[in-house]
Amino acid sequence: MGEPLLRVENLCVEFRTRRGIVRAVDGVSFEIQHRESFGLVGETGCGKTVTGLSILRLISRPGRIAGGHIWLEGEDLGSKSEEEMQSIRGGRIAMIFQDPASSLNPVFTVGSQIVRVIRRHQPVSRAEAQARALEVLEAVGLPDAPRVLGCYPHELSGGMQQRVMIAMALSCRPSLLIADEPTTALDVTIEAQILALLRDLQQRYGIALLLITHDLGIIAETCSRLAVLYAGRVAEIGPTEAIFSAPRHPYTQGLMAAIPRPGSRGRRLAAIPGTVPANPGSIPGCAFASRCGQPRERCWSDRPSLTEVAPGHLVACYVATTEGRP
Amino acid sequence: MRKAAFVLRRLGMSLFVLLGLSLITFTLARVIPSDPAAAYIGPHPRPEQVEMVRERLGLNRPLPVQYLIYMRDLLRGDWGESISTKRPVLREIGDRVCASLELLAVGMSLAVLIGVPLGVFSARFQGSPFDVVVRTLSIAGVSMPAFWLGLVLQLVFFRWLHLLPLTGRFATELRFTHPIRPLTGFFLLDTAITGNWVAFKDVAWHIVLPAFTLAAYPIGLIARMTRGTMLEVLAQDYIRTARAYGISERFVVYGYALKNAIGPTLTVIGLTLAYALTGTFFIEIVFNWPGLGLFTVHSLLSVDYPAVMGITLFAAAGYVGINLAVDLLQAWIDPRISLR
Amino acid sequence: MSTRESARSPEELQTQRRWRHAAHVITRDPLALFSVLVITGFLVLAIAGPWIAPYPEQGFGKTNVATRMLPPSREHPLGTDRLGRDILSRIIIGARPALSTSLIVVGLAVAIGSLLGAVAGYVGGWVDDLIMRITDLFLAFPSLLLAMAIVAAIGPGLTNAMLAIAISWWPWYTRLVRGIALSLRERHFVEAARAVGVPSLGIIFRHILPNCLSPILVQATIDIGTVILASGGLAFIGLGAQPPAPDWGLMVSEGRAFLLTQWWYSTFPGLAIFVTVLAFNLLGDTLRDIFDPRQYR
């Protein structure tokens, strides 16, 4: 493997609150290869959205990136000036968000918003940008694209709005697309369409995808590799198949058990007891220890680091990595 | 289509409000005073006079009928006769409204030109020393009694610095040296149109202090509300989207955010016009400005009933008109508004 | 998270945290501190003015020909007026009527406005429509203009001016409370109360109004300042308090004729209005800051 498209190393993000400094992301590392689709999964508040925004360096006060590095094709994003970052945002990395209705500016037409993004990143005339906008709107499967171009966001349905967002993301041919819960606000039927569209576009244009979600089912359908985030730390990372067939971290196992499956009718879905600690950064040991079924002595005092249990499959858990040993 | 429906509905609402207004002034003029006829004529009425007025206003008839007569007279343009000047109220209003409007226009323009940028900048640089200064100044602006501010400004700029004239719309000697030919009634315009630059300069100097006194409250309110609106808009998801697509911070603030903030800001400007409207009353007294406010206060103090009620109705109708204009303007700017 | 805290009920914790937060905000923000100090001073003057003022009997109106129109000096720090009265004493004595006037007006407006608002928001239907149409009508008037017209109809004087201002003021509270009542109506505790058969009036007094308390308090604080401003304005025109009342607005008005020769006459009473109103506005802002649930996490 050569230089990965994106390398996140030991990322830490802190927020200043009234109660002191809270670490929302606490030493997260992962890599995404060119054209790969990578999933980031975890429950609300585990730091997945913050991780996504950090890649674009869009953490604003009272938050800040407190440590770590992010490399895009070998370039350290931390050393870029604000102007350089602006040309990366939307140009080389694009991002789509959870709620398309609020993510589009309500008082500008869809067309003018896409055209502005295109002209921000490419030296083209207004007419060329317009043509390009039309092209991407067609590419995301919007019927009657010329009409949509002149529409205001509120005149479109949720699914259409999200397609518009995807079109805007595609408009400058980025090499990485970050999709933050792209279907959570949509109906189930629309969800399937949007996911199919994302997979299709990823294949067609060769874009790498970072899919952020709380839904393991979506990851299973879409991503080839994934990382499970818990309380701002990576609990487990590896190929989707490996993790789904043999989850090693007790948290991942809990998440799997909570997915309804065919054939499991009549059985109760398992829930993980307890809640996520409020400020996991202050915990010396494993953040999951208080909810873990079989914590060891050292789980309370030492922080487990990611350890390889199978090729490309890493787990941060003493229980999982010392299993079967005395 | 939806827009047309919105405009119609909004017009209907204004009409309803105007009807209600007439009902309120009717109550104040005809129901509350113990002897409306005497109130209508003024102090020391002669008996035959009272009888005539009773007859004309239908004061012996039931209240609903009286109201209908009242409305009929209003619509005919018969707003009664001023007790102190013995001239029709509507004419008295017409003679003075331009002076007030000119003051209001200059004052509000000042307020918008100063208040909106202050609010936008202080939102963009939230927490900076500039922001702290703007917030303090804007609260000071809304806490300042206009009549007192006018006096203090007179003291400073006339008495101590000898920079600006004390009162009036123009210097008295101007009447003889460079008379103003009234075309529009707005002296700044009139002198500019006729090329009477000596008079123009004099008129401009005279309007500075009253206009600034009038603007103090609106500047404070507009800056404060604009700041709040901008902060709210800047926290929206679509602003994050714009930033995530590399749109420059300048365009994010002055393009994407500002256009969203214009609607609420317009509402605030409309609202401040109400304060400014009553503000002119005090300012016209302090600066001896020959407008509606000065006339109103004289009428109030001489218990000139028809004049007071006429002005109340007139000013309130003007206010309703302003609000209507603001709403229609907003519907034109914000594509979502017609759906509400 | 310590055991000491967890021994208390959530409500107690909430209250305790709120007080601590309030103390934190007030001591850290110089403007908030300023407002608290000024208002405390204002309250002290309103209560104990006659014992504090250097010439209390002049404050109440006793004239003294020998000391007419004196500029500020050691004996008369803010000078004297055309009837020889010490302006500082007049201002100090004037604090009580200023406070009581605004408290009565705001109290009236809050009582009428919030009750109507709660009824409109909670009951809904045609009652809501009727109340809100009337409210809109009143809001369509600039409130001071309405107050002036009312004073013109019922005659000038402090009591009438107060009544007029109160009448033109209540709709703001109606609108405020109705908005909150509307959102509360759907909340669980209100639904629960309704389900177990608590009568509407009981729900309004026990559940709706208490929950509107903090926004009302914020608005009322700001309005105390605004009413001082408005009644000062009416007095300045000659429609409010009448001589020889030690009213701040009236004093500004009296001094106006002597502006160019006796600058202190109008300036200091006006300054008193400005500083007091400023303090109430700042305090309102601070309270909003303290009550705003968005500040809590």
pLDDT, average across residues A17-21? 75
Average pLDDT along chain B: 84
Flag if A154 and B238 touch (Cβ within 8 Å): no
Say what the pLDDT of residue C10 is.
60
Best to test chain B binding among A61, A99, A105 (most B CBs inside 10 Å): A105
Question: Band of the pLDDT at C271, cuts 50, 70, 90?
Answer: very high
CA nearest to C252 within chain B? B148
pLDDT for A268? 60
> Is residue C151 scored above 50 in pLDDT?
yes
Query: Which residues from C are below 8 Å from A62, CB to CB?
Result: none
**pLDDT of C57:** 76
Chains contacting chain B through 3 or more C-beta pairs under 8 A = A, C
Q: Is pLDDT above 50 for A184?
A: yes
Question: d(Cα C160, Cα B157) in Å, to the nearest integer?
Answer: 37
- Rounded distance, CA B78 to CA B250, Å? 55
Q: In whole angstroms, what separates CA B203 from the centre of its chain?
A: 20
Which residues in chain A have Cβ-Cβ distances shorter than 8 Å to B248? Answer: 86, 120
Task: Enter the tokens of residue C35.
Answer: 């407002």
* Residue C242 CB neighbour total at 10 angstroms: 14
Count the alpha carbons within 13 Å of B324 in the hemisphere toward its beta carbon: 18
Report which secondary-structure segment, H or E, holds A313: strand A313-315
Q: What is the pLDDT of residues A149-182, one digit of tens each?
A: 888 998 888 888 998 999 998 888 899 999 998 8
Q: Which residues of C touch B136 (CB under 8 A)?
A: 31
Q: In the prediction, which pLDDT does C296 show?
A: 34
Which residue among A91, A108, A152 sits closest to B246, beta carbon to beta carbon? Answer: A91
Q: Helix, strand, or coil here: A95?
A: strand
pLDDT reported for residue C154: 81
Name the band, by pLDDT with cuts 50, 70 and 90, for residue C13. Answer: low
Give the long-range contacts of residues A70-76, CB within 8 A, separation 24 or more. Answer: A70/A6, A70/A7, A70/A8, A70/A9, A70/A11, A71/A4, A71/A6, A71/A7, A71/A9, A72/A5, A72/A6, A72/A176, A73/A3, A73/A5, A73/A175, A74/A3
Using pLDDT thresholds of 50, 70 and 90, give the confidence band for residue A264. low
The answer to whether B267 and B221 are in contact (CB under 8 A) is: no
pLDDT of residue B340: 41
Say which amino acid occupies B134.
V
CA distance A283 to chain C (A): 13
Asked whether residue C275 carries a pLDDT value surpassing 90, the answer given is yes
> In this predicted structure, what is the pLDDT of residue B264?
84
User: What is the average pLDDT across C254-269?
Assistant: 84
Answer yes or no: do B17 and C140 touch at CB < 8 A: yes
Measuring CA to CA, how many Å separate B101 from each of A154, B196, B329? 40, 21, 21
Contacts of B335 in chain A (CB under 8 A): 106-107, 152, 154
| pLDDT exceeds cutoff 90 at B309 | no
Closest chain C residue to the Cα of A20, Cα to Cα: C297
pLDDT of res. C148:
83
Calculate how close chain A gets to C289, using CA atoms only, in Å: 14
Q: Is the pLDDT of residue A294 over 70?
A: yes
Would you call B122 an interface residue with chain A, using a CB distance cutoff of 8 Å?
A: no
- Subunits that touch chain C (at least 3 Cβ pairs < 8 angstroms)? A, B
Provide the edge-to-edge strand list for the sheet that holds A208-213. A93-96, A176-180, A208-213, A37-41, A225-230, A233-239, A313-315, A307-310
Give the pLDDT confidence score for residue B336 in this predicted structure: 65
Q: CB burial class (10 A; 0-12, 13-18, 19+) of residue C141?
A: buried
Can you give the pLDDT at residue A266?
A: 57
Decide if pLDDT at A324 tops 80. Answer: no
Q: Report the pLDDT value the prediction gives residue B335, as an integer from 0 to 100.
A: 66
Smallest CA–CA distance, residue C192 to chain B, in Å, is: 31
Residue C191, phi then psi, degrees to nearest 5: -60, -40
User: What are the helix (H) ranges across C29-124?
Assistant: 30-52, 56-59, 87-123
Please give the mean pLDDT across all residues of chain C.
Answer: 81
Which residue of chain B is at minimal alpha-carbon distance from C228?
A: B145
Neighbour tally for B250: CB within 10 Å: 9
pLDDT level of residue C4 (50, 70, 90 thresholds)? very low
Give residue C156's pLDDT. 78
Helix, strand or coil, per DSSP, at residue A108: coil
Summarize pLDDT for B74-130 with one digit per residue, the tens.
Answer: 888 888 888 778 888 888 888 888 889 999 999 999 999 999 999 999 988 888 889
- Quickly state the pLDDT bin for C3 (edges 50, 70, 90): very low
pLDDT at res. A320:
76
A94-103, B121-130, B299-308, B331-340: least confident range: B331-340
Q: What is the pLDDT of residues B313-330, one digit of tens each?
A: 888 888 888 888 888 887
Mean pLDDT of C112-128: 86
Mutation test of the interface with chain C: which of A16, A18, A279, A290, choosing the one with the most C Cβ atoms within 10 A? Answer: A18
**CA of B194, closest CA in chain C: separation in Å?**
36
pLDDT at position C251 over 50: yes
For chain B, percent of residues with pLDDT exceeding 70: 96
**Do the beta carbons of residue C164 and residue C233 sit within 8 Å?**
no
Which DSSP string do the residues of A132-189 spell out, in sequence order?
HHHHHHHHTT-TTHHHHHT--GGGS-HHHHHHHHHHHHHTT--SEEEEESTTTTS-HH
A325 pLDDT band, cuts 50/70/90, is very low
Reported ipTM: the value is 0.85
Q: What is the pLDDT of residue A38?
A: 92
pLDDT, residue C286, reads 83
For residue A86, give the nearest of B240, B246, B259 by CB distance: B246
Q: Does A152 touch chain B (CB under 8 A)?
A: yes
Q: How confident is the model at residue B337 (pLDDT cuts 50, 70, 90)?
A: low
Burial tier of B338 (Cβ tally within 10 Å: 0-12, 13-18, 19+): middle
C293 — pLDDT class (breaks 50, 70, 90): very low
Read off the pLDDT of residues A212-223 as tens digits, 9 standing for 90 and up.
998 888 888 889
User: Which of A315, A291, A287 minimizes the C-alpha distance to A301?
Assistant: A287
**Substitution target from B136, B137, B143 for chain C, most C beta carbons within 10 A:** B143
